[in-house]
Amino acid sequence: MLFKPDSFESRLFALSLAARVLECGMIARTMRFDDDYDSRDVEDRRGERVPIQASGGFGLLASLIFRFGWKGGIVIFGLYFVVSRFAGGMHQVSSGPPQKAAHDSARAFVGFVLDDVQKMWAERMPNYERAKVVLYSDATTTGCGMGEAAVGPFYCPRDEKVYLDVTFFQELRDRFGVNGDFAQAYVIAHELGHHVQRLTGTSDRVERAPLSAQKGEGHLSVRLELQADCLAGVWANSAESRGLLEGGDIDSAMRAAAAIGDDRLQQQATGTVRPESFTHGSSAERTRWFKRGHDSGDAKACDTFNSTL
């Protein structure tokens, strides 16, 4: 997802993804990679501390008011504050120097996927500019404002970095027992799809569009997310052709894409479906566009803006 201040919805999406991926059978390691791999494009901020006054607060409230108006912004900020409290989300500043994280298999895996995805795009796009991935804990500063655990994985177009809160992957493992590498790889490839959209000017055109054209079923933000799904599918095709995946990985990814469609998540959370509030697309749409990218292996097949979803 592109960085947006709808943290409560993003957290629901992240936790629902974890639960549904478990149901889809994404367990145990599947992708082949070197545990000692180290990418120069991974910035590891885990262990760095962020002052409490620097996270959330008026900056988040201002962005919410700008996007949703006074009433909507204050209501969403209140919900976010409550959720953050229950999640232990107000960050404390500890004494002593920050403890930097050592190199580990999580960093190796993220770096491997990052470099593999970007190598593919560099071969297909002239003058491709590499993105970076920032690993962090709890909260960190970004070019798009303060990034917090509640937001989940996101791409910031202003600094061209993907931000991954490591507790998101810890929740996949510890709370839901999900150890599947391909589930994590899919997330990274999707976020790097947003970087490709940034380089091609697609995301800028969407951001400049009127807000009324951005949200809801079939609107621009949904088409942007579905295109990122399709671009992730293009990379999956490449990875599969090079023997990086095991049998069944692609089918599992498509089941997971169906499981995290807006319609299914809303039905599970509230018992109703509101297409006008969709942000990522329905289950059928997400499955269809990932499959289109995978089956074609061609980014030209990912024109969600001029196609029937």
Sequential DSSP letters for 159-202: TTEEEEEHHHHHIIIIIT----HHHHHHHHHHHHHHHHHHHHTH
What are the CA-CA distances from residue 195 to residues 57, 117, 189, 225 (Å)? Answer: 28, 11, 10, 12
Q: From CA 71, how far away is CA 250, in angstroms rounded? A: 43
- 234 touches 297 (CB < 8 A): yes
Q: Give the strand pairing for 145-148 and 42-44.
A: unpaired
Q: From CA 58, how far away is CA 43, in angstroms rounded? A: 27
Rg (CA), the chain: 18
pLDDT of residue 269: 78
Q: From CA 3, how far away is CA 221, in angstroms rounded? A: 12
Q: From CA 176, how far away is CA 174, in angstroms rounded? A: 6
Map out the domains of the chain as residue ranges: 7-38+111-131+174-306
- 281 touches 309 (CB < 8 A): yes
pLDDT of residue 47: 84
pLDDT tens per residue across span 28-57: 445 666 777 899 999 999 888 775 444 444
pLDDT of residue 33: 66
Q: From CA 279, how far away is CA 68, in angstroms rounded? A: 15
Q: From CA 201, how far away is CA 17, in angstroms rounded? A: 29
Whole-prediction pTM: 0.76
What are the CA-CA distances from residue 261 to residues 20, 181, 249 (Å)? Answer: 11, 21, 19
Which segments in the chain show pLDDT lower than 70?
1, 3-33, 51-103, 169-180, 215-217, 256, 259
- Write the Ramachandran bin of 105: left for phi over 0, alpha for psi from -120 to 50, otherwise beta: alpha
